[in-house]
A and B are shown apart, each in its own frame.
Chain A
């Protein structure tokens, strides 16, 4: 009797799992497999309607790697990611530390800043395109009134500078995420260590270097890794601001993959670029999961 209840119970749990497993196989696993197959096929506008597209092995990958744009897109991706993560993290951590002190408005300011994360990337990209407008944008105007620059910077139209323009935007967008995760880490620190340090006469800087940083190692590592994972895949923000231009100055791997698939309708090559990106991200994600995931609480 007891055994049959147990069995019946497990049957019910398996039944409840069916929608999730079906969805996962059809819409997540299958597309990944499909993308690998697509990257090995001659999938262009000409062949896309055919029931059987020609299999061409690693041809798409070879074409991609020989293309000078591959190196450029990879380097752009690396610069975009390291630049964004470095500043998001530094500013986010400073804000987390500062707003962790107790004074009126600290919680209000902290929770208001989260609004940045809520806005759609397309809205953020649009607003910053206007702020960074060379002739009439607020950003150049403020820099000029503060005498930091004398001539307008063409943030999004100068090929040597455009990548910095999108990084600035993405830093603004990423600050709340970093601040929030690091605040979480700060609030889980044992306060009595600080009390003891105070008695020993340690100053603020020493406390930060010798107590806060070592104790926060796990949170800091996790925040940086997640920052890299979420920044490496950014598409919307760059697409709305520059579409990868001017002259590919802001073409990252996701942007290039999309252009190949949807502008040139070379779906095989677009899939190949996406798979290279996938491999890079999978390695980073697995490192993150191995060392940081689930160890927060």
Chain B
């Protein structure tokens, strides 16, 4: 639809206002984290810190580092589990021609929609019986219960597009079936693997309910739980809390800037399947 020149200007202005309004909470988190304790409570609030305190941010950073490392350990591990089971399962479901396929896909779709609150109580008792409380494995497996259904649905759709003839050619050349899968079909679905991996990272990095329930040992908790505990401990120092929030958000913001396209695709595809 073509629009006139002065309308273009007006629309551009409105869109800038929308942008500013929507981004305001994120901007406020950033600058609140750079303010001094005295300045954070000044009224009217300052739109830019009088003298940005990067050393305060650095102090919080030193405290946050172990939590951030834990977040990465969990997110990367969930990614490995999810990509392995998602790729093999998605591949099998794309190639198998069976009448009960519809029901399997339905089961995975429902699994993805289940509330985490439904899994947290039984998984807690199960993992407690297995002695896996205060062990990363419990959290990694629990988060995988909703990333794997998503991965299987996404990757099955991708493998449906990968031509089986290419694999057959490799088989004639003497490759094993697994090799044909691994070196022929898997590279074809790489774009979908990147989408699944990015969304899986966002979800597992953001996990809170499983980590706070299964990881009682502070040395193992991820940044989300660290931030939650930090609010309780630093209740009067909102500048320090915002600094911690900024540091927790930063990896996700960087990920967003790099993989924006994939996130948008994954968000739309994952929701509608």
Contact = CB atoms under 8 A, between A and B. Distances in A.
B170 interface: no
Contacts of B233: none
B131 interface: no
Contact of A127 (B29, B44, B149): B29
A277 B115 contact: yes
B58 interface: no
B184 interface: no
A122 interface: yes
| Secondary structure call for the B interface | helix
Contacts of A111: 260, 264
A16 B85 contact: no
B123 A285 contact: no
B118 A277 contact: yes
B272 A20 contact: no
Given A28-B111, A236-B209, A278-B114, A118 B256 contact: yes
Which of B12, B40, B121, B206 has the largest count of A CB atoms less than 10 A from its CB?
A: B121
B64 interface: no
Contacts of A138: 24, 28, 45
A27 B118 contact: no
Given A19-B88, A23-B148, A114-B264, A123 B3 contact: no
Contacts of A112: 19, 22-23
Contacts of A99: 15
Contacts of B16: 105, 109
Contacts of A233: 114-117
A119 interface: yes
A170 interface: no
A10 interface: yes
A249 interface: no
Interface string A96-112: 00110111111011011
Interface stretch (A31-39, A80-88, A153-161): A31-39
B145 A102 contact: no
Q: In which size bucket is the chain A interface?
A: 35 or more
Contacts of A162: none
A126 interface: yes
B271 A118 contact: no
Interface residues of B, number: 94
Contacts of B95: 9, 13
Interface in A196-244: 222, 226, 229, 232-233, 235-236, 239-240
B252 A118 contact: yes
Contacts of A282: 110
A17 B19 contact: no
B252 A274 contact: no
Given A12-B177, A130-B241, A102 B1 contact: yes
A94 to B, nearest CB: 10
A21 B85 CA distance: 9
Interface string B99-138: 0000000111111011111111111111010000000000
B224 A274 contact: no
Contacts of B273: 293-294
Nearest to A204: B1
Nearest to A130: B238
A34 B122 contact: yes
Contact of B115 (A116, A120, A281): A281
B66 interface: no
Contacts of B109: 285, 289, 293
Given A177-B267, A294-B273, A127 B43 contact: no
Contacts of B238: 130, 133, 136
A120 B206 contact: yes
A262 interface: yes
A55 interface: no
A270 B40 contact: no
22 contacts: A12-B177, A13-B91, A23-B148, A24-B107, A27-B144, A27-B145, A28-B149, A105-B15, A113-B18, A114-B264, A115-B23, A115-B253, A126-B231, A127-B29, A130-B241, A145-B44, A184-B272, A233-B114, A270-B121, A274-B118, A293-B109, A293-B273
Please list the 4 inter-chain residue pairs (A to B) with the smallest Cβ-Cβ separation, ordered nearest first.
A20-B89, A120-B206, A233-B115, A17-B92
Interface of A: 8-10, 12-14, 16-17, 19-21, 23-24, 27-28, 30-32, 34-35, 38, 43, 48, 95, 98-99, 101-106, 108-109, 111-124, 126-131, 133, 136, 138, 141, 145, 172, 175, 177, 180-181, 184, 194, 222, 226, 229, 232-233, 235-236, 239-240, 253-254, 257-258, 261-262, 267, 270-271, 274-275, 277-278, 281-282, 285-286, 289, 293-294, 296
